[in-house]
Amino acid sequence: NVSLFTGLQHSINSVFCNVGKAIGAGMIIDYMKRYGFYKLPPLETPESERAASGLYDRRGRLFDPKHPETQVDPGRLAFGQERLQVTPMQMAMVAATVANGGLEMKPYLVQRVVAPSGKTIVTTKPHTLSRVMRPEIASEINSMMQAVVTGGTGTAAAISGVPVAGKTGTAETGVGNIYTAWFIAFAPADHPQVAIAVVVENQAGGFGGKVSAPIAKDVMEALLR
């Protein structure tokens, strides 16, 4: 009888396992694609330097199942296991999409080009890729992610005087207690300016809230000064 709010706040895998089984692998993958999974991120870098997030097969190839209901375990997929592999860029885009009220924005590396004289030659204008979810749904997720930081698994990312929204993640590596520690966040949660994804690989007993959340806090504090 644990609510979805509490499940996300305290990172209770069984809650999301049950949700995944209820909605099915096909719907999960459909929403992954709405967030940009299964596509190279539209970034100004060589294609060889980019990777698509999604399910991968044992040969390291992107796996888009034709029959997901029989080929994919929806319970494990729903909390980030199964054969799911994601990039920090993709997860930062997920955080930014929630922060932007459900709008997924195109990422870019160069904000503006300035001549030696100080004159701005080129300015990158924000570009919306798609609407992933309704604003009211994004607002609910925002509230849940704030609860993660105020009283859940991500309290180490709390910044005094600044509301922070975040979500921890701890991925198994298959080797003992060695984990990949994740934390995505945005701040200020009520008027977002910064979205971030932090991943620290191969950590002994390293949970996202313990290892990656403090790093996210330091980066966000520096950017918000």
- Confidence at residue 205, expressed as pLDDT on a 0 to 100 scale: 85
Degrees (nearest 5) of the Cα angle 165, 168, 173? 160
What type of residue sits at position 23? I
Residue 89 domain boundaries: 4-224
- Residue type for 153, please? T
Residue pair 95/44 in contact (Cβ under 8 Å)? The answer is no
| The predicted structure's pLDDT at residue 29 | 97
HSE-CB of 79 using CA atoms within 13 angstroms:
21
The CB density around residue 218, as the number of other CB atoms within 10 Å, is 12
**Which residue has tokens 């105020």?**
150
Q: What angle do CA 156, 147, 213 make, to 5 degrees?
A: 25
CATH code: domain of residue 30: 3.40.710.10
Q: In total, how many domains does the chain have?
A: 1
**pLDDT the model gives residue 109:** 92
Report the chain (225 residues): mean pLDDT per 10 consecutive residues. 96 97 97 96 90 95 95 95 94 98 96 96 96 98 99 98 98 90 98 98 92 98 96
What's the confidence (pLDDT) of residue 19? Answer: 97
pLDDT at 137: 98
Q: Is the dihedral of CA 36, 70, 15, 156 positive or negative?
A: negative
The secondary structure of 58-103, three-state, reads: CCCCECCCCCHHHHCCHHHHHCCCCCEECCHHHHHHHHHHHHCCCE
Q: What are the start-end ranges of the E strands in 92-209?
A: 103-105, 112-114, 120-123, 128-131, 165-172, 178-187, 194-204
pLDDT for position 72: 96
Please choose, from the candidates 43, 55, 145, the residue with its C-alpha nearest in 3D space to the C-alpha of residue 95.
Answer: 145
